[in-house]
């Protein structure tokens, strides 16, 4: 694959470990107006997430009414993996895979978008496409109609996620399914390169029994 790098304004993408139950339920709750009871109900069903938010400084004393954070920040803080001292969880990968997937040599620097555009699955087995879509744009305007779950405080930009179960599904599909590359792929060997490094991230997440959250850093 060409070593040409993305433009200087392209974001850098990371794949953060996330842990905990109810990620989908929190997304559903945050899609509703804050004056509804959906977020209050979620906090009652998942008291462990309420404790996490309160530990990080969210005011949950009167339910959702007192939480001043934007929805993307709530989602990120609620499920990001942390260490015992409260610092961010250890990266899923520290080497070349993080760099290769972090800024791919396309205009937007997005390796997962490149994979979505150029990977072709067997017609009888459409497994990867919805998982890659969820990882890349599951929280973006393209999927939910706005960026309220994507764009948050201090430039926070979430793209999408995979649950721990979906991590295993995508890893297995990339390794075992028969897939091809688009005839007009821009970079020779680009899809194979992205798939190889994504597999390393997925295997690491699978070993740690966690999901992954894709973020962009401008």
Residue 6 falls inside a structural domain: no
Evaluate if residue 3 carries a pLDDT over 60.
no
Q: What is the distance between the alpha carbons of residues 100 and 106, in angstroms, rounded to a whole number? A: 12
The answer to whether residues 137 and 52 belong to one domain is no
The encoded tokens of residue 213 equal 């959250």
Mean pLDDT computed over 112-129: 89
Q: What is the distance between the alpha carbons of residues 160 and 150, in angstroms, rounded to a whole number? A: 8
Contact 22, 46 (CB under 8 A): yes
Q: What is the distance between the alpha carbons of residues 124 and 107, in angstroms, rounded to a whole number? A: 32
Q: Which domain holds residue 123?
A: 12-18+90-217
Residue 1 falls inside a structural domain: no
**Torsion, Cα of 179, 108, 149, 95 (10° steps):** 70
The answer to whether residues 55 and 136 belong to one domain is no
- Residue ending a domain, among 38, 53, 79, is 79
Contact 191, 185 (CB under 8 A): yes
The answer to whether residues 37 and 138 belong to one domain is no
Q: Quick one: which of 122, 130, 119 has its CA closest to 178? A: 122
Tens of pLDDT, residue by residue over 159-197, are 999 999 999 999 999 998 889 999 999 999 999 999 999
The answer to whether residues 38 and 111 belong to one domain is no
The answer to whether residues 59 and 110 belong to one domain is no
Q: Quick one: which of 201, 75, 212 has its CA closest to 144? A: 75
Tens of pLDDT, residue by residue over 70-92, are 999 999 999 999 998 888 899 99
Residue 34 falls inside a structural domain: yes
Residue 84 falls inside a structural domain: no
Global confidence as pTM: 0.92
The answer to whether residues 104 and 157 belong to one domain is yes
The answer to whether residues 47 and 74 belong to one domain is yes
What does pLDDT average to over the chain? 92
The answer to whether residues 32 and 122 belong to one domain is no
Q: What is the distance between the alpha carbons of residues 32 and 53, in angstroms, rounded to a whole number? A: 19
The answer to whether residues 137 and 201 belong to one domain is yes
Q: What is the distance between the alpha carbons of residues 204 and 17, in angstroms, rounded to a whole number? A: 10
Domains held by the chain: number = 2
Supply the DSSP symbol for 10: -
Three-state DSSP class for 110?
A: coil
């Amino acid at each position: 694959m060409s070593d040409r790098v993305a433009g200087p304004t392209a974001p850098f993408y990371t794949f953060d470990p996330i842990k905990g139950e109810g990620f989908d339920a929190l997304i559903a709750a945050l899609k509703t107006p804050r004056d509804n009871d959906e977020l209050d109900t979620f906090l009652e069903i998942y008291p462990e997430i309420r404790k996490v938010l309160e530990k990080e400084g969210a005011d949950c004393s009167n339910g959702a009414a007192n939480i001043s954070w934007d929805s993307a920040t709530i989602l990120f803080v609620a499920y990001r993996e942390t260490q015992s001292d409260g610092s961010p969880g250890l990266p899923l990968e520290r080497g070349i895979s993080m760099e290769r997937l972090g800024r791919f040599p396309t205009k937007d620097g997005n390796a997962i978008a490149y994979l979505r555009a150029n990977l072709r699955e067997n017609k009888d087995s459409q497994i990867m496409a919805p998982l890659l879509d969820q990882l890349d744009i599951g929280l973006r305007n393209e999927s939910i109609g706005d960026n309220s779950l994507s764009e948050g405080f201090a430039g926070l930009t979430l793209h999408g996620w995979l649950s721990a179960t979906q991590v295993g599904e995508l890893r297995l599909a990339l390794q075992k399914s028969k897939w091809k590359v688009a005839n007009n792929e821009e970079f020779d060997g680009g899809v194979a390169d992205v798939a190889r490094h994504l597999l390393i991230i997925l295997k690491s997440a699978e070993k740690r029994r966690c999901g992954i959250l894709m973020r962009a850093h401008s």
